[in-house]
Amino acid sequence: MATTSDSDRSAPSGVEFIQEDDGRVTARHIESGVASFGESEAEALRQLGDALDSHFGDGETIDDPASYLDSEGIDVDIGSEGPPPWIE
């Protein structure tokens, strides 16, 4: 059973929700410009929380990005320009 801590609480200030043409919802933190998306506002907001943690340096460090991506089933094709700077 799902519950909320305060059902009268308004949506967080500083976040805007954008309904995309494909049905997904984008949540954007207005101050930083960081955005993420999901199938619903709640999912987009959860994803935005993770993105903000990463943006502000509060996320978990990944010691071996290549192994992590492989374990998540993400196939990365590194182009001729090399890997993105955060993987180096």
Rounded to whole angstroms, how far apart are CA atoms 43 and 29? Answer: 14
Closest to 31 measured CA to CA, from 16, 9, 49: 16
Q: Is 3 contained in some domain?
A: no
CB 37 within 8 A of CB 44: yes
* Domain that includes residue 19, residue range: 15-71
Question: Is the residue at 40 inside a domain?
Answer: yes
Number of compact structural domains in the chain: 1
- Mind listing the pLDDT tens digit for each residue in 3-56? 334 445 555 569 999 999 999 999 999 989 999 999 999 999 999 998 998 888
In a domain, residue 83? The reply is no
Find how far residue 19's CA is from the centre of its chain: 16
As a whole number of Å, the CA-based R_g of the chain is: 16
pLDDT given at position 2: 29
The reply to whether 19 falls in a domain is yes
Asked, for residue 41, whether it belongs to a domain, the answer is yes
